Structure 1
């Protein structure tokens, strides 16, 4: 029963963790598209995009790394891997909560960010405002997936890894080796001391001399 529950939790954690990975891949693709547009607009000149593009790309890579670590932690059910995964996801949730609180509580939140010469940051703001309902549900889905990932990781960490499969495999190996051990014939080597017959003959001669 515990093994079945652990297997279900591992599968659900991988599924929920994939939502974070999809969000990360979407951010990476969007940042690469912004870089491509920026280089086209710059006329092929060597210039670096704004901070917004690099931060978006870095967050996407970070989400993908979290997804990879989450899949490894879910597969192995190792307590250390699960703990590291929970810490990373918790820090990500805290960062998102801080940014969200700053946007909703601070009317001049745009002044907290550096100026974006590419204008992509303004385009993203306009897109979010025009599609606020869709962006809101996507954001809630990602946050819910992160919170559920932390909860599943905690439960899986309490259950611990599954050592039953390893024990069964060891038993199979032992049973497979037993017939070979039983069929082995132990040959005992006997060594004959070459001086044994000489000693016996010498004792016989001494006994004859004494009897005379």
Structure 2
């Protein structure tokens, strides 16, 4: 009973933590769509450019990168909810791998920014100017951005830890049985007021004791 309660609590906490990742992904998608709208207005022409831009226009790689990261976070959130609900080992492993790869990517970008003085040369030129605007915002609000980044990393690490604990606890055993009749006798001592089923042999009904049945047979033979 205690194990089932602990498993349910960890599943609920994992769903909540995983929802925070989904909120970050949705925020990134909205930010990317807003940047794309601004880029559309900035482009000259009688009509706004299509989503992928005109053929002669530079590709706004920064907008597509933010949009792709947001969609990836939403996909990871969906897989995390499925893994938390089913508590299946394979689903939990896949979810852990996704979050771990995301952490590795974030760590690689962070190390490159802090250790490489020419880190801006590693990225292509952003003609939309949104990348420069984001850098200026981060420089002006470095403390706020630092705590937001640390919070996101902490949420990702906590989701991995909860997934590992849930994997160690295992799935609900009762989900593997379709009815109460499918339980094996090994689990019988755990049930209250358990009454073992008796086996029955199909045959002719017998009434009374053996001596009574013997007297009936003798009397029937004497009557003949």
TM-score of Structure 1 vs Structure 2, range by shorter chain: 0.7 to 0.9
Are 1:116 and 2:117 an aligned pair?
no
Question: Take 2:71 and 2:120, find their aligned partners in 1: how far apart are those partners?
Answer: 24
| Aligned position for 2:15 | 14
Question: Take 1:109 and 1:80, find their aligned partners in 2: how far apart are those partners?
Answer: 38
Question: How many residue pairs align between the two structures?
Answer: 173
Are 1:97 and 2:93 an aligned pair?
no
Of 76, 80, 84, 2:86 maps to 76
Counterparts in 2 of 1:172 and 1:134: CA distance versus 1, 3 Å: farther
| Aligned position for 2:190 | none
Question: Take 2:134 and 2:71, find their aligned partners in 1: how far apart are those partners?
Answer: 19
TM-score (norm: length of structure 1): 0.78
Deviation track 1:142-191 (CA, whole Å, cap 9, x = no partner) reads 10010011111011111111022554x612899xxxxxxxxxxxxxxxxx
Please tell me whether Structure 1 or Structure 2 has the larger radius of gyration of its CA atoms.
1
Counterparts in 2 of 1:122 and 1:170: CA distance versus 1, 3 Å: same
Question: Take 2:76 and 2:181, find their aligned partners in 1: how far apart are those partners?
Answer: 37
TM-score (norm: length of structure 2): 0.74
The runs of 4+ residues in structure 1 deviating greater than 4 Å are: none
Question: Take 1:39 and 1:15, find their aligned partners in 2: how far apart are those partners?
Answer: 36
Question: Take 2:48 and 2:107, find their aligned partners in 1: how far apart are those partners?
Answer: 38
Q: CA deviation at 1:59?
A: 0.4
Q: CA deviation at 1:41?
A: 1.2
Unaligned runs of 5+ in 1: 175-212
Of 118, 125, 131, 2:141 maps to 131
Of 173, 180, 194, 1:163 maps to 173
Higher fraction of helix = 1
| Aligned position for 1:3 | 4
Unaligned runs of 5+ in 2: 184-224
| Aligned position for 1:145 | 155
Are 1:25 and 2:26 an aligned pair?
yes
Deviation track 1:119-148 (CA, whole Å, cap 9, x = no partner) reads 000000001111111111111111001001
Question: Take 1:70 and 1:141, find their aligned partners in 2: how far apart are those partners?
Answer: 18
Question: Take 1:150 and 1:27, find their aligned partners in 2: how far apart are those partners?
Answer: 22
Question: Take 1:172 and 1:128, find their aligned partners in 2: how far apart are those partners?
Answer: 62
Q: Secondary structure at the match of 1:6?
A: helix
